[in-house]
Amino acid sequence: MNDLSSPPSSDAPRPARQRKPDWIRVKAPVSQGYNETRKLMRDLNLHTVCEEAACPNIGECWTKKHATVMILGDTCTRACRFCNIKTGMPMPVDPLEPEHTAAAAAAMGLEHIVITSVDRDDLPDRGAGQFVKVINALRRETPNTTIEILTPDFKGRMKQSIEEICEAGPDVFNHNLETVPRLYPTIRPGARYYASLRLLEEVKAHNPLIFTKSGIMLGLGEQRLEVHQVMDDMRSADIDFITMGQYLQPTPKHANVEEFVTPQAFKAYGSIARAKGFLQVASSPLTRSSYHAGDDFAEMRAAREAKLAKQAAKQDN
């Protein structure tokens, strides 16, 4: 196996990149809605994970004026082998970012917004304070917008960060496991699988009413039973929503795609996840953490209400 800790030397032959199957191909974004969303982000000096992570759904989402704002800058302090976001020493935190994020949500008329960030291991609070400021700004400017956050692991300051953010009251707290435990040393070397699970457990312990969510990528070399075990681990942590999507290699320097998982296999994984008790499941090649997040949130909230009503009816009987 190649050493994934550093890119191959310039004179070493690179393996041929696999050709994408038809089910993973998307059209290039050219719509007016896409261009308007792009201009709004530029005018407000905001970054989006849609662009920075080269999301294949950007054309569809931005056409509908849905965008996932990436706070705390565009430079990450870690170097995960699957991620296209640049690594280095980040710039100082933008104090106007919370208000600009709220302004973008208002301008796009968002009923549901997803806020994510780079890792900021350089900051004393790991960036938790900026999440709080963004949530508070959204509550002031767009009080009817439901808020979903997709956070890093706040390494070394997890519990305090979770307490601060949960007090601000997001509707959904998402933190992705990304892959199976066996692949962490090569795919996500700066993180720890069980620490990520514990983060989501802590959210539920602090406020059981906040929906929790996590996702994994398929096609990195994981085995079927390993995926099933991740599902079990998530349910043990009382995670409400699981997302599963196809890993796509951003550049030849990133981890290789070991397999293009078929839509039928994704459907089977989704059926198994539903049987394990998740309130909501999204499983398809193009699924990403924030893809159709608003619709998924509405369905998840309805599923919880139906579950609680059923439990109440049993108690009455």
Residue positions in the annotated binding site for [4Fe-4S] cluster? 50, 55, 61, 76, 80, 83, 290
Q: In what order do the strands lie in the sheet with 211-218?
A: 47-48, 69-71, 112-117, 146-150, 172-174, 211-218, 241-246, 280-283
How does DSSP assign 66-105, residue by residue? ---EEES-S-BS---TT--S-BS-PPPP-TTHHHHHHHHH
Instruction: For the chain, count helices (H), then strands (E).
Output: 11, 8
Residue 77: C-alpha distances to residues 51, 62, 220 (Å): 18, 27, 23
Asked if 213 and 188 count as a contact pair (C-beta separation under 8 A), the reply is: no
Write out the binding residues.
50, 55, 61, 76, 80, 83, 290
Asked if 108 and 40 count as a contact pair (C-beta separation under 8 A), the reply is: yes
Using CA atoms, how far apart are residues 115 and 286, in angstroms rounded to an integer?
20
Q: Which residue in the block uniquely carries the two structure tokens 């919370």?
A: 98
Q: Which residue in the block uniquely carries the two structure tokens 């970054």?
A: 47
Asked if 301 and 279 count as a contact pair (C-beta separation under 8 A), the reply is: no
Using CA atoms, how far apart are residues 215 and 245, in angstroms rounded to an integer?
8
Measured in degrees and rounded to the nearest 5, phi and psi for residue 146 equal -80, 145
Total length of the chain: 317
